[in-house]
Amino acid sequence: MLERLDTFESRFVASRHIDVWLPPGYVKGGGGRYPVIYLQDGQYNCLPASNVMGWGLCDTVAGLIEEGTIPPVILANIWNSSDRWREYVPKKPVDRFASPEEQMAIRKRGKTPTSDRYLRFFIEELIPHMESIYPLITRREGRYLMGSSLGGIISLYAVCEHPHLFSGAGCLSSHWPLYEGSMLPYMEESLPDPAVHRFYFDISTEALDAQYPPYHHRVQQILTQKGYRENENCMNLVWQGHDHSATSWGKRVHVPLTFLLNPDISWMNQRVG
C-alpha cells in the first residue's frame, strides 16, 4: 500500500512529496515495529518496471517479504527536487578534497552543495515525523538508506555523518568521479564502525558506469583498510551488461535489499548475477 504524505514542508530544503510504502499485512496500531529504508529519487522507485523510469521496487520488496527473504519493511520514498544536484553532492568532501580550481568552478556555476541542509531535513524533520506516525524501530539498526548514482553518494554521506542514526546504505551505480573523486579520501577519514554498519556498493559495465571501475576498486581497498569484510558487512559487485538506468537497478535491487535487511543470510556461493 502506497501512501503520499501531504507535501512535506521543511525549514532546510524545498517542500516535496514523500511516498510511504507499507508492507502487506500492515495494520495501523497492530503492535509490531518495522525497519525503514529512506530512498532517494523517490518518485521513480515504486513505478512499475515496465515504466522506463521505474524500478518496480515496491513489487520487489513485496515479493521478498512474501517468500520470507527479508522482514516486513516500510519504504520512505523521498522525491527529489529541481535542486537535486546541490542537495545530493556531499559538502564536506568537496570542501576538503576538491582542488581550489574545482571549487572556484563550482561556485561560478552556482553548484555549491547544500547537502548538509538536506541532511538536517532528514535528521531534524523527516525521521521524527515518520517515527511519530508509523510504528518504526527507533534505533539505528532499524534505519537504512538507499539510492542510485548521486542518490547512492548522498546515502553513503548520511551514514558517515550520522552513524548513530543509520545502520547502513545500499548504493547502486554511485557516481564516484564526482568532483575529482573527492568522496574517496572522505571515506578513508569518515567510514563508520564496521561492527555496527553495513554497506552495499555496485557498478555495471555499460554507459556511464563504464567510467567507474578504478573508483570501485579503490572503494573496495578502503573498506578493507577500515575493517570491513566482503559478504559480511560490505558487498561490492560488478553487474555485467547492466547500465546506468532504472531498468538495470530494478533488476538487481533485490540483492542490496536482502544484504541490508537479512544479515544472517550466507552470501558465500550465492549467485547474484
**Looking at residue 31, what is its pLDDT?**
74
Query: Any idea of the CA torsion for 36, 42, 43, 44, to the nearest 10 degrees?
Result: -100
Is pLDDT of 267 > 70? no
Is 266 contained in some domain? no
Distance CA 269, CA 71 (A): 23
| Average pLDDT, rounded, for the chain | 91
Q: Look at residue 203 in the predicted model and tell me its pLDDT.
A: 96
- Say which range, 107-111, 225-229, 269-273, has the weakest mean pLDDT: 269-273
Residue 168 forms part of a structural domain:
yes
- The model's pLDDT over 129-174, given as tens digits with 9 standing for 90+, comes to 999 999 999 999 999 999 999 999 999 999 999 999 999 999 999 9
Q: Which pLDDT belongs to residue 61?
A: 94
The residue that leads in pLDDT, 76 or 264, is 76
pTM, rounded to two decimals: 0.94
Render pLDDT for 182-217 as a digit per residue (tens, 0 to 9): 999 999 999 999 999 999 999 999 999 999 999 999
Residue 264 domain-assigned (yes or no): no
pLDDT in tens, 76-118: 999 999 999 999 999 999 999 989 888 888 888 888 999 999 9
The pLDDT of residue 269: 55
What value does the mean pLDDT take over residues 11-29?
A: 90
Can you tell me the distance from the alpha carbon of 185 to that of 187, in angstroms, rounded to the nearest whole number? 5
Nearest-angstrom CA–CA distance, 212 and 117:
28
Pairwise CA distance, residues 262 & 273, whole Å: 19
Is residue 270, in this structure, part of any structural domain at all? Answer: no
Please state the domain count of the chain. 1
Q: For the domain that residue 88 is a member of, what is the CATH number?
A: 3.40.50.1820
Strands 2-4 and 143-148: unpaired
In a domain, 184, yes or no: yes
Does 122 reside within a domain?
yes
Residue 267 within any structural domain of the chain: no
Those residues with Cβ within 8 angstroms of residue 38's Cβ, 6 or more apart along the chain or in another chain: 76, 78, 122, 126, 127, 143, 144, 145, 146
User: Which structural domain range is residue 24 located in?
Assistant: 2-259
Is 271 among the domain residues? no
